[in-house]
Amino acid sequence: HAGGGSSPLECTRTFTRRGEKGMLGGGRHFKSWGFIANMLDTKQKTCFAFVLVFVIFAGLFRFWLAPFFLKLPANFTYEGQLTSVDNFYDESLQKFAGEQYSKSNFSYRVTDSVSGIYSVENTFSVSTLDDQPIFSTVRNYGIDSITWAQVPGFGDHDREGYLFAPSGLDPNESFTYWHVNYDAPAKMTFLESTTLFGLPVNHYESYYEDIWVDQTDSLDGLPGVPEERGIVVEPHLELWIEPASGYLVKYHDDTYAYYYDINTQEKLDPWNHFSNTFSDDSVQQHVKEAEVWRMKHYFYYYVLPLCLLGLALVSLLISFHHKKNLKKGGTGLSWIIMGTFVVLPVSTYLVSTFLLRNVLYSEVNRSFDDRVQLLEDSILKRTEIYSNTLTGAAGLFTSSEEVTREEWKAYADRIDLQGNYPGVLGLGYVLLVNPEEKAAHVQKIREEGFPNYTIFPEGDRAVYSTVLYLEPFVGGNVLVMGYDMLSEPIRQLAMDQARDNGVVSISGLVHLIQDLGDPDKRGFLMYVPIYAKGLPLETVDERRVALTGYAYSPFRAEDFINGLFSSSDLGVNFALYDGVSPDSSNLIFERLEDDIPYGELSYNKITTFYLLGRPWTLKVGGLSEFKLSSEQSYLLYSEVIFGSLVTLFFIFLFFALYLSRQNMIDFIARKKGFGS
């Protein structure tokens, strides 16, 4: 009993209460901890609310907002340049006359919109290689701007299908596509998954099974159309689609067109066998466009929803972490520290490594593209030289009434044909001979010292062409004298093109007369027309009337290419084809410095270029030269190693700081909660 007024029991209770307050840091401190606990409970509820909001918004974005962000732009345009090949059927000869090349333009553009339905104009126009228009057709489609699907009731008539293809299409599913040329529904079925210039694409095809594709209205200028005959086509259509976005990267068609009896619908003779395919430049441009749509598709459909779900998960983890830290006296900052010391360095390292890798491989890719361009330019430049030489030879006939055999030989000797122009077998002159003049002409040449001279092959033709001069007149060239080149369709086609256009032309692949004993050897010929002096040459008809012959040169394909790259170590495998596709039947030349299939090479490219108006296709594959150099590989590996070490350091630093902080929290908790 001390100080009076209090019993020993009351003093003991008072001491105990004060001791409790002192041990816990006082009543005020005790109340503050209760306040913080209440605050943390509120934060936990808030975190759960955020979890719910993020999950709901992720679903809404994935299934409702994403298609809106990927809608067809109101100013949408799409364009592709195509190479077109026609092979018209000669009804009098009952055979196809030979391939003729032209250019085509394929395009879409939005012209109007009504309540989210776009009016899309689809144009297909064909022109000559010198841009003279031949044919054009236009269709108008009604397209849903969100789904890119065709909408019945809009456009020039009802259609159901897609502008290109549905996005996210399962490979085993088919879809309906309308091609401007045929204006009929094509059921596109899956063929294979492949790549175009590094972009994964799905390859589809359609044969328009059980669909009568009538083009009579579009071709009513043909003989007997539409009064007696119509035109029906049997297309084989192929599409290459980027699967995520449904974007059209490439198309190719191969079609037979037939006449049919307008009354009985009976199919008659063919009219044309034609094909169209996107140029490589257009395919590469569409690859870039499809890459953008693909990334947008992944971003809106997957990345953003997953980020929202990730935020929901983080909110959930933070709520549990707050509760755990509350028991230990923590403040809930460890997740912020983790974001700073782990996520940031890891993401920075990954991005920097990705960028460095892209830079290094871009350098190799540019080097490979330069090598492809070197091959193409070398062929074009050499051909231009030969073309100028041939034009000069034809010019002899504009400066004199007649060029004798001796003058022709003197010109060939002066330009040193064999020494300066590797690959060319000779310099020749072809004379046109009318049937009524044939006998007199043959007799004249025999009297000049060629007793066995004749025009061959035998047969009656509207006009004959005969090889009169060919220098050097030795070896296999002797066998060519008197050969009628107009008797062979591939040569005739090139000669007709040179005649009608008034320029140098080049033929497709042929077996040269010089190499008839070796069927594996193939070649081509170059022609320049020779016209009579003083006659007008403004129109095609005038040029046909004025034509008297040709200057020409035969080329053995293997010698022509070897003359360009005889001793060059190109570091690539390459093959050259006549036409617009790498078809083995049209192989001009192939060089394999390393016997590795093209598909297994790190870099490969297919490009089509025009040689005197005729398309040649170059297929190139890069060898070991087109890989990262040892220095570049060392730089990339160094980046990987250094970045990994830095990342590990930051992770170690985070855990060191985290453990230190936890130890401090535990120490303070022991001092405040359990100290004596």
pLDDT in the model for residue 25: 42
> Alpha-carbon distance 423 to 302, whole Å?
58
pTM of the complete model: 0.64
The type of residue at 26 is G
Ranges 52-56, 96-100, 374-378, 636-640: which has the least confidence? 636-640
As a whole number of angstroms, the distance between CA 510 and CA 279 comes to: 25
pLDDT value for 364: 62
Question: In Å, what is the CA distance from 375 to each residue of 62, 370, 580?
Answer: 48, 9, 17
Q: Amino acid letter at 121?
A: E
* pLDDT beyond 50 at 580: yes
Cβ-proximal residues to 50 (8 Å cutoff; 6+ apart), any chain: 311, 312, 315
Half-sphere exposure in the Cβ direction for 450 (13 Å, CA): 17
The stretches of 329-437 forming alpha helices (DSSP H) are: 334-338, 344-394, 405-414, 417-420
| Selection from 225, 68, 87 nearest residue 148 by Cα | 68
Of the chain, the end-to-end C-alpha distance in Å amounts to 26
> What are the tokens at 322?
């707050």
pLDDT in tens, 82-124: 988 888 888 877 888 777 888 899 999 999 999 889 999 999 9
pLDDT, tens only, 445-470:
999 999 999 999 999 999 999 999 99
The number of C-alpha atoms within 13 Å of 566 and in the hemisphere containing its C-beta is 6
- The segment with the largest mean pLDDT, out of 9-18, 167-176, 601-610, is 167-176
Q: Give the least confident one: 162-166, 366-370, 402-406, 433-437.
A: 366-370
Q: Of 630, 659, 431, 388, which is closest to residue 548 (Cα–Cα)?
A: 431
Residues 6+ apart with CB under 8 A from 51: 312, 315, 316, 319
Amino acid type, 278: F
CA distance 467 to 445: 12
pLDDT score recorded for residue 352: 54
Please determine, for residue 211, whether its predicted confidence score (pLDDT) is greater than 80: yes
DSSP string, 326-344: HHHT--S-HHHHHIIIIIH
The predicted structure's pLDDT at residue 27: 44
Closest among 520, 535, 533, 425 to 480, alpha carbons compared: 425
pLDDT at 494: 93
pLDDT of residue 37: 44
- Each residue of 290-317: pLDDT tens digit? 989 998 898 888 877 877 777 777 666 6
Residue 456: DSSP 8-state = B
Q: Which of 189, 167, 373, 166 is nearest to 280 (CA)?
A: 373
Tokens of 452: 């066995």
Q: Is the pLDDT of residue 10 over 80?
A: no
pLDDT band at 258 (very low <50, low <70, confident <90, very high): very high
3-state secondary structure of 90: strand
Q: Is 605 exposed, middle or buried (0-12, 13-18, 19+ CB in 10 A)?
A: buried
Tokens of 60: 């809404």
* Other CB atoms within 10 A of residue 19 CB: 11
Nearest-5° Cα angle at 65, 59 to 69: 140
CB environment 664-676: b (16+ within 10 A), e (fewer): eeeeeeeeeeeee
pLDDT at residue 36 in the model = 40
Cβ neighbors of 511 (< 8 A, separation 6 or more) are: 519, 521, 522, 523
| Rounded-to-integer distance, Cα 17 and Cα 21, Å | 6
- The angle that helices 27-60 and 304-328 make with each other, rounded to 10 degrees, is 170
Q: What is the pLDDT of residues 28-44, one digit of tens each?
A: 444 444 444 444 455 56
- Residue 124's alpha-carbon distances to 135, 140, 177, 182, in angstroms, are 8, 12, 16, 11
Whether the CA torsion 346, 348, 349, 350 is positive or negative: it is positive
* Lowest mean pLDDT segment, chosen from 228-232, 574-578, 589-593: 589-593
Among 16-25, 546-555, 557-566, whose mean pLDDT is lowest?
A: 16-25
Both tokens of 513, joined, read 């007369």
Report the share of the chain in percent with pLDDT over 70. 76
- Evaluate whether 479 touches 513 at the Cβ level (below 8 Å): yes
Choice between 627 and 229, residue whose per-residue pLDDT is larger: 229
Return the H-helix or E-strand segment holding 79: strand 77-90
Angle at alpha carbon of residue 414, lines to 408 and 417, rounded to 5°: 85
Beta carbons within 8 Å of 59's beta carbon, 6+ residues apart: 305
Which residues, other chains included, contact 246 with Cβ-Cβ below 8 Å and sequence gap of 6+? Answer: 148, 162, 164, 165, 166, 167, 168, 169
**pLDDT mean over 315-328:** 58
pLDDT confidence tier of residue 374, bands split at 50, 70 and 90? confident
The three-state secondary structure class of 172 is coil
Instruction: State residue 101's pLDDT score.
Output: 82
Of residues 478 and 66, the one with the higher pLDDT is 478
All residues at 6 or more sequence positions from 424 whose CB lies less than 8 Å from its CB, including other chains: 386, 417, 553, 554, 555, 560
Residue 343's nearest CA partner among 640, 656, 650 is: 650
CA 426/CA 420 separation, integer angstroms: 12
Q: Amino acid identity, residue 173?
A: E
Are residues 318 and 335 in contact, defined by beta-carbon separation less than 8 angstroms? yes
Closest of 388, 371, 280, 181 to residue 615, by C-alpha = 280
Split at pLDDT 50, 70, 90, the class of 169 is confident
Average pLDDT, the chain: 81
φ, ψ of residue 117 in degrees (nearest 5): -105, 120
Those residues whose C-beta lies under 8 Å from the C-beta of residue 12, and which sit 6 or more positions away, are none
Query: Is residue 271 predicted with pLDDT exceeding 80?
Result: yes
Could you give the CA distance from residue 596 to residue 604 in angstroms, rounded to a whole number? 12
